[in-house]
A and B are shown apart, each in its own frame.
Chain A
Amino acid sequence: MKPHWRQWVEEIRQQFPQGNSALLPLLHRIQAEEGWLSPETLADVATLLNLPVTTVESVASFYSLFYKRPVGERVVHVCVGLSCALKGADALMHRLEEHLGIRQGQTTPDGKYSLMEAECLAACDLAPVAQVNLRYMGPVPPEEYQRLLGEGEK
């Protein structure tokens, strides 16, 4: 547990004093710092909010953006929703899988990339669209898949 997490709890509780409403905001904030939510972190959160560990685990496991395993530096979510699929999302996913040598849902062994399937990202006008660490990129035609990997950037 990091000492400043207690401070965060105070801040969040000012906005959300009722129910367990502090839980999701705290998980978001800690994950932004830690990269993912380890079992130890979830136990810490339970202590901080005075909740049963099982409650925290059960809530965290419900939401796909809370990562229960370590993820890569660049988390690439490729939308495979219908509008994106009509514009080549599946081919885009295949190109990425081939290039990275992993399947969707996995992280490269060097810890650089995680590749994930996303349902409609509410950006169908940018199809085929993806998010890199939750920032939109699109349209990304399948042959331009490398743009999502930021290769060649500093």
Chain B
Amino acid sequence: MAELNTHYLLRHREVPDIDQIAVYEAHGGYQSLRRALRDFTPEAVLELVKASGLRGRGGAGFPTGMKWSFLPNDGRPRYLVVNSDEAEPGTFKDRELIEHNPHQLIEGMIISSYAIGSHDAYIYCRGEFLRGSEQLARAIREAYAHGYLGDNILDSGFSLHIHLYRGAGAYICGEESALLESLEGKRGQPRLKPPFPAVAGLYGMPTIVNNVETIANVPVLVEKGADWYRSMGTEKSPGIKIMSVSGHVRRPGNYEVPLATPLRTLIEEYAGGVWPGKLKAIIPGGSSVPLLTPDQIDTPLDYESMIAAGSMLGSGGCIVMNDETCMVWAAHRLVKFYRVESCGKCTPCREGTYWMTNILERLESGEGSQGDLEVLLDVADNIGGKCLCPLGDASLGFMVSAIRHFRDEFEAHVREHGCPLGAKRYDPINH
């Protein structure tokens, strides 16, 4: 089922220099936009996206067409905001898309803005993506020069301006309401929801926030149609997904696969197999999802199968760990990430990630005591579902599943006063 070497999103793999507008156009670029403006009403584009079953690729997997249809019809200006703040450990697909195939995102933004009736669209680009933002800035300039952006695009009467905005180093700004705060020039702290952005978003106006990969799918949908998209994947998870594979594999990288491709195919065929050593654990969908064990390697990569297996497809960041990897060490690394990135607004997340990091550090360095595991799980209980945004919950996914699947290993750290695997631990200055 898996079609190796066919790309609809990572098209630069077959077409070098597709980041240049002339090359993009020569390979069918901006034809979907022409077609949408000529043959589709905005409602028809919305119907197409709904019919395709496309789900958001930023992590939550929310159906894109349904999200768009939540916009109130009240005459206020509407905004499309593209989330290019990619920073979930293990995820690196959006970076490749904006660095190498930026026009597909821009074309998708224009078609999507046409569908939802937005005349100003924004790209929130992670501050660390210097090259990515340069590529986007250039591609936007080219699109203006070729008449795809600005007033009265291709004589359709539709106008759109795209504004590129750089973040400045804060993972939380990937969360859509924190992103909007940041885009308004404030500290990037999440807002209380509801109201959701579709009702009151950027500058208080109805706003759609979508991931880069989600929007990059839109020109493909216009070109190939909903039935084609649905010919891949499953009823609830149709189409294609970019999976980022890293860690202990022979060929780390982004791989574009039909949804429902078995995890085994991704790891063994696309990424060249586990190397070095043998498989111990897989994080299939970015650092915030629970791990899968080797016996689950045949799980199909779709939203519902991943949930049935006890994890999530999330952002598609697949981290592979071999049998030399200490699960306490890995949990410490991930929980510490959330501690550093917690915006500090909600006490359970701010304090909880701090204490979990300390306890895991203690366990790893051999100073853990009986009862530490219970305290960890108790702290976890006090974070889960108790914060304004899902960052706190995200800090628990891996750790709680690691304790569940590898309890022995955690207990051995207490019993043997240290890491049985002899993991080397970097001891950073606290900040």
The residues of A with any CB-CB pair to B shorter than 8 Å are: 15-16, 18-25, 27-28, 58-59, 62-66, 77, 80-83, 85-87, 89-91, 93-94, 103-105, 117-125, 127, 131, 134-136
Contact = CB atoms under 8 A, between A and B. Distances in A.
Nearest to A92: B426
Given A16-B165, A22-B185, A125-B92, A82 B426 contact: no
22 contacts: A15-B163, A18-B184, A20-B185, A24-B185, A28-B127, A62-B343, A63-B168, A63-B170, A81-B89, A81-B333, A86-B246, A86-B248, A119-B89, A119-B337, A122-B87, A122-B126, A122-B129, A123-B92, A124-B89, A125-B245, A127-B247, A134-B130
B424 A131 contact: no
Given A86-B321, A134-B130, 11 more contacts: A27-B168, A59-B186, A62-B343, A64-B169, A64-B170, A66-B169, A83-B247, A94-B426, A105-B431, A118-B128, A124-B247
B197 interface: no
A18 B186 CA distance: 12
B357 interface: no
A90 B427 CA distance: 9
B170 A62 contact: yes
B234 interface: no
B183 to A, nearest CB: 6
A94 B428 CA distance: 10
Given A24-B166, A124-B319, A59 B426 contact: no
B407 interface: no
Point out which of B186, B244, B248 has the most chain A C-beta atoms below 10 A from its C-beta.
B186
Contacts of A125: 92, 244-246, 252-254
Interface of B: 86-92, 94-95, 126-131, 163, 165-171, 182-188, 203, 244-248, 252-254, 287, 317, 319, 321, 325, 330, 333-334, 337, 340-341, 343, 424-426, 428-429, 431
A19 B87 contact: no
A120 B169 contact: no
Contact of A124 (B90, B127, B186, B203): B90
A59 B429 contact: no
Nearest to B166: A28
B334 A105 contact: no
A90 B91 contact: no
Contacts of B426: 80, 85, 89-90, 93-94
B330 A82 contact: yes
Contacts of B341: 119
Contacts of A123: 92, 95
Contacts of A66: 168-169
Contact of A122 (B92, B167, B340): B92
Nearest to A14: B163
A89 B184 CA distance: 35
B429 A124 contact: no
B203 A63 contact: no
B130 A19 contact: no
Given A125-B244, A125-B253, A19 B203 contact: yes
B128 A23 contact: no
Given A24-B165, A66-B168, A125-B253, A85 B130 contact: no
A154 B160 CA distance: 45
A82 B333 contact: yes
Contacts of B337: 81-82, 119-120
B131 A136 contact: yes
Contacts of B246: 83, 86, 124-125, 127
B89 A62 contact: no
A124 B130 contact: no
